[in-house]
């Protein structure tokens, strides 16, 4: 049996959505097919996103920036937007049952020293981790109750 697909959307699909994809895949990849995409993909995964995810033991270096249209002909049970622009541009996907919007600041717009910019990436990563790990825990609780 295939796991239900969760699609995480952001505008550029270069930072936030990839961090969320990596964290949710780590937390619930055994019960969800976790993917990410963008409404206007940047064409790359931000190197600082890769770096700060590596700091917590999650490798997203093989992720690729992809357009949300790549998923329009696939069943997507849950769509989660992590930025306001993607939320506004989000179409309805085949099989979509749930939609969530959890907005996070874009660390790619951070300014300052190299360390200050990295700290912003870490802050956003940690905020994403709190939300998506809690979401995964809720999914697991719901699954346990359904099996009881």
Residue 122 has pLDDT above 90, yes or no: yes
Highest mean pLDDT among 7-16, 51-60, 86-95, 136-145: 51-60
So what's the pLDDT on residue 144? 63
Residue 86 has pLDDT above 70, yes or no: no
Residue 7 contacts residue 68 (beta carbons within 8 Å): yes
**Domains assigned to the chain:** 5-147 (3.40.50.2300)
Candidates 90, 124, 136, 139; catalytic one:
90
Candidates 24, 82, 83, 124; catalytic one:
83
In total, the chain counts a number of residues equal to 148
First to last CA, the chain: 20
Catalytic annotation present for 90: yes
For 57, left (φ over 0), alpha (ψ -120 to 50), or beta?
left
């Amino acid at each position: 049996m295939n796991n239900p697909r969760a699609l995480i959307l952001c505008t550029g699909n270069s930072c936030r959505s990839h961090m969320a994809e990596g964290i949710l895949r780590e937390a619930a990849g055994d019960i969800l097919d976790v993917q990410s995409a963008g409404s206007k993909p940047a064409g790359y995964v931000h190197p600082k996103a890769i770096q700060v995810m590596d700091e917590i033991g999650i490798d997203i270096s093989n992720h690729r920036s992809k357009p949300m249209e790549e998923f329009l002909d696939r069943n997507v049970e849950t769509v989660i937007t992590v930025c306001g622009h993607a939320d506004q541009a989000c179409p309805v996907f085949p099989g979509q049952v749930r939609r969530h919007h959890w907005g996070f600041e874009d660390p790619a717009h951070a300014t300052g020293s190299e360390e200050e910019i990295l700290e912003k990436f870490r802050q956003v990563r940690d905020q994403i981790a709190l939300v998506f790990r809690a979401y995964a825990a809720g999914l697991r609780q719901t699954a346990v109750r359904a099996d009881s």
